[in-house]
Amino acid sequence: MSEVTLNGAGVSGAEATSRAGVLRRLRTTDIVFHGLTRGAAIVVLLLLSGVIISLIHGSIPALGAFGLGFLVTEVWNPVTEQFGALAPIYGTLVTSFIAMAIALPVGIMVAFFLTELCPQVLRRPIGIAIELLAGIPSIIYGIWGLFVFAPFLQRYVQPALIDTFADVPVLNALFAGPPYGIGMLTAGLILAIMVLPFITSISRDVFDAVPPVLKEAAYGVGCTTWEVFGSVILPFTRVGVIGGFMLALGRALGETMAVTFVIGNAHKVSSSIFAPGTTISASIANEFTEAVGELYTSSLVALGLILFVITFIVLAIARYMLLRLEQRVG
Amino acid sequence: MNLAKIGLAAAALAFSSLAAHAADISGAGATFPYPVYAKWADAYKKETGIGLNYQSIGSGGGIKQIKAKTVTFGASDAPLPGKELDESGLAQFPMVMGGIVPVVNIDGVKPGDLVLDGPTLAKIFLGDIKSWDDPAIAKLNPNVKLPKQAIAIVHRSDGSGTTYNFTYYLAEASPDWKTKVGTNTAVQWPAGIGAKGNEGVANNVAQTKGSIGYVEYAYAKQNKLTYTNMVNKAGKTVSPTMDAFQAAAASADWKSQPGYGVILANQPGDKSWPMTAATWILLYKKPTDPAATAEALKFFAWSYAKGGKMAEELDYVPMPSNVVMDIEKMWSSDIKDASGKPLYSMK
């Protein structure tokens, strides 16, 4: 393009036509490219609204039959066709909460260690190991959780926790019941391992982006490593860290196979995190293939709609928090 | 230019593979018989060149697909009621059978040591019997030393034909089960944990002391699980064996239900295993593509005639020959093309 304009001075008629032709071609390319990108963006919107419409359409029979009570009913009885989403919603939120409560601090600490404190030799191996963790298919986590991790929890961790907290109020209800090995805690722990790489790798990238001059200045005026981490790096990178947290939470809320293997799949709301429970995606994966009858299938679709809404709310809260933070800073 | 060429080649390939598949039989449904259907299909293809494209998406999916006419036949572990068959114009017949066995994990109890009956099994799964030294279990097992140990229940978490047949038997054996829980591919379990698939149930039972679960016979046998014996309807104690399943099938009154929809639970007969299960095929009596249905019937007839041994190798139970005769008679009288010509003729 630049060539065409540079050679523009004092040209003959033939050259002028060829130049106009080139320009026209370039313009067409741009228009086509513009159209293509816009088309791609519109396709995304169409797909999303298609998904929403079909979810709503599919869940109308169930929501019509049970109304808003669907959200707060614990019963899930395919025989009498009584369905309620309370147990799966509860299980989804509890397992995701356990996962994030563990993965967020650990992930940020790993990222900080990797960017600031780790000897150069170890940096690459640890970084690669964490990225590999993200590459393991979720079914592998499920099988490993069922065959290795759950028996380990059942034999060593759960009995110890039950004994330790037997006399402490509240906590004894939280850690109660027979140690099955599988249950909501196990699912939460597996999820924590699965989402750790998301938090770590994003945090590491944003920590790396902190201008060295800020850190050096902080160390220069006598800050400890802890103070640099808490007062310089975290405030500077919080938008990125929250972004990683949300990505991880999105994965935890929707994770299916690994959870199905280790959560125990009982449509019950239990106070104990050792008790079997279920999540929205696990219920759908378990029951959709053999669900016969309109109300049953429709209830499962309605579960999908609820998961969609939960994810949407989480994203909306994240956006809102980011906005608030930016306003306060700016 | 190159890209266009590659695209053309890909399109050509896609079309040629479509053409090659056109002659294949298409079906969808139950996962339980998938291994034996796959084995039959493989042998049938070697003999005739015609393949089977079977998607094991589950019984519910199979029923939906045959009703949408996207496949030539559907397969289901739960039979359709006669009314539904008539309304949709579908023919139904059983293809192969299997057994369901309770498996336990109790210290010192070996396969076949423990004896249970239907009412006791139902009480265990209802959560009414909580410990292995319960008098109801002790009465059935005077010679077994039963520990004072809590019973941990393991059931299927995914909807399955195995659960359908198991809960059908419990409902037959226990009025309590019938009113409180009922029969379906998935039910509201009063107690216990749910595990995915036979392997999930087996593994959870293996890991948890004092546990009980139920799996398909093939799975219990191949993994050498601790199965229990059962007291059958005739009051006799039976072990889960191929003979006991066949006895249940032989004593069943197959014509009592439309579309041979007899659930083989709790069948009469001294040797009958009480939890035997059949799996069914669904196809249209007046199909829109008669040629495809005729091909499918040929495959089923071949499987009845030559597939018995292959089924037994996989621990499935072949259909008794008198039932097969009757089914083939039904084909030749009921399944016709648009002009009313039968699509199958008995040899």
Going along chain B from its start, the domains and CATH numbers come out as 3-96+277-334 (3.40.190.10), 100-251 (3.40.190.10)
Chain A positions touching B188 (Cβ under 8 A) are: 75-79, 267
Chain A positions touching B200 (Cβ under 8 A) are: 146, 261
For B193, which of A75, A80, A266 is closest by C-beta distance? A266
If asked whether residues A83 and A35 sit together in one domain, one would say: no
Band the pLDDT of B211: cuts 50, 70, 90.
very high
Least Cα separation, residue A81 to chain B (angstroms): 10
Mean pLDDT, to the nearest integer, of B197-205?
86
Q: Note the pLDDT of residue A180.
A: 81
If asked whether residues A194 and A221 sit together in one domain, one would say: yes
Query: Is B186 an interface residue toward A (CB < 8 Å)?
Result: yes
If asked whether residues A147 and A32 sit together in one domain, one would say: no
Domain count, chain A: 2
The answer to whether the CB atoms of B207 and A78 lie below 8 A apart is: no
State phi, psi for B261 to the nearest 5 degrees. -80, 50
- Domain housing A56: 3-66
Query: Is A79 an interface residue toward B (CB < 8 Å)?
Result: yes
Which residue on chain B is closest to A75 by alpha carbon?
A: B188
Contact B138, B106 (CB under 8 A): no
3 state SS for chain A: CHHHHHCCCCCCHHHHHHHHHHHHHHHHHHHHHHHHHHHHHHHHHHHHHHHHHHHHHHHHHHHHHHHHHHHHCCCEECCCCEECCHHHHHHHHHHHHHHHHHHHHHHHHHHHHHHHHCCHHHHHHHHHHHHHHHHCCHHHHHHHHHHHHHHHHHHHHHHHHHHHCCCCCCHHHHCCCCCCCCCHHHHHHHHHHHHHHHHHHHHHHHHHCCCHHHHHHHHHCCCCHHHHHHHHHHHHHHHHHHHHHHHHHHHHHHCCHHHHHHCCCCCCCCCCCCCCCCCHHHHHHHHCCCCCCHHHHHHHHHHHHHHHHHHHHHHHHHHHHHHHHHHHHC
If asked whether residues A184 and A226 sit together in one domain, one would say: yes
Q: Note the pLDDT of residue A85.
A: 93
Choose one of A28, A51, A66: the last residue of a domain.
A66
If asked whether residues A161 and A57 sit together in one domain, one would say: no
pLDDT higher at B14 or B210: B210
If asked whether residues A235 and A101 sit together in one domain, one would say: yes
Choose one of A66, A92, A107: the last residue of a domain.
A66
Query: Is B183 an interface residue toward A (CB < 8 Å)?
Result: yes
Q: Note the pLDDT of residue B269.
A: 87
If asked whether residues A27 and A133 sit together in one domain, one would say: no
For B156-165, write each residue's pLDDT tens digit.
Answer: 988 888 899 9
For B118-139, write each residue's pLDDT tens digit.
Answer: 999 999 999 999 899 999 999 9
Substitution target in A290, A294, A301, A303 with the highest count of B β-carbons within 10 Å is: A290
Both structure tokens of A51: 């998904």
Query: Is A291 an interface residue toward B (CB < 8 Å)?
Result: yes
If asked whether residues A77 and A96 sit together in one domain, one would say: yes
> How far is the C-alpha of B314 from the C-alpha of A35, rounded, in Å?
58
B residues 66-105 closer than 8 Å to A (CB) = 78
Choose one of A26, A51, A66: the last residue of a domain.
A66
Question: Buried b vs exposed e over B257-292: b needs ≥16 C-beta within 10 Å?
Answer: eebbbbbbbbbebebbbbbbbbbbbbbbbebeebeb
If asked whether residues A33 and A178 sit together in one domain, one would say: no
If asked whether residues A181 and A61 sit together in one domain, one would say: no
If asked whether residues A89 and A48 sit together in one domain, one would say: no
Substitution target in A292, A294, A295, A300 with the highest count of B β-carbons within 10 Å is: A292
If asked whether residues A127 and A183 sit together in one domain, one would say: yes
What ipTM describes this predicted complex? 0.70
Q: Note the pLDDT of residue A318.
A: 80
Query: Is B63 an interface residue toward A (CB < 8 Å)?
Result: yes
The answer to whether the CB atoms of A286 and B159 lie below 8 A apart is: yes
Q: What is the CATH number of the domain that holds A126?
A: 1.10.3720.10
Which residues, given as ranges, of chain A have pLDDT below 70?
1-12, 328-330
Q: Note the pLDDT of residue B17.
A: 44
Chain A positions touching B63 (Cβ under 8 A) are: 292
Which residue on chain A is closest to B168 by alpha carbon?
A: A79
The answer to whether the CB atoms of A77 and B188 lie below 8 A apart is: yes
In this prediction the pTM is: 0.78
Chain A positions touching B207 (Cβ under 8 A) are: 150-151, 154, 181
Chain A positions touching B58 (Cβ under 8 A) are: 288-290
The answer to whether the CB atoms of B185 and A267 lie below 8 A apart is: no
Query: Is A265 an interface residue toward B (CB < 8 Å)?
Result: yes
Strands B25-29 and B52-55: parallel
Q: Note the pLDDT of residue A330.
A: 54
Band the pLDDT of B303: cuts 50, 70, 90.
very high
Query: Is B154 an interface residue toward A (CB < 8 Å)?
Result: no
For B217-234, write each residue's pLDDT tens digit.
Answer: 988 888 888 999 999 999
Q: Note the pLDDT of residue B89.
A: 92
B15, pLDDT greater than 50: no
Query: Is A266 an interface residue toward B (CB < 8 Å)?
Result: yes
For B184, which of A78, A178, A278 is closest by C-beta distance? A78
B12, pLDDT greater than 70: no
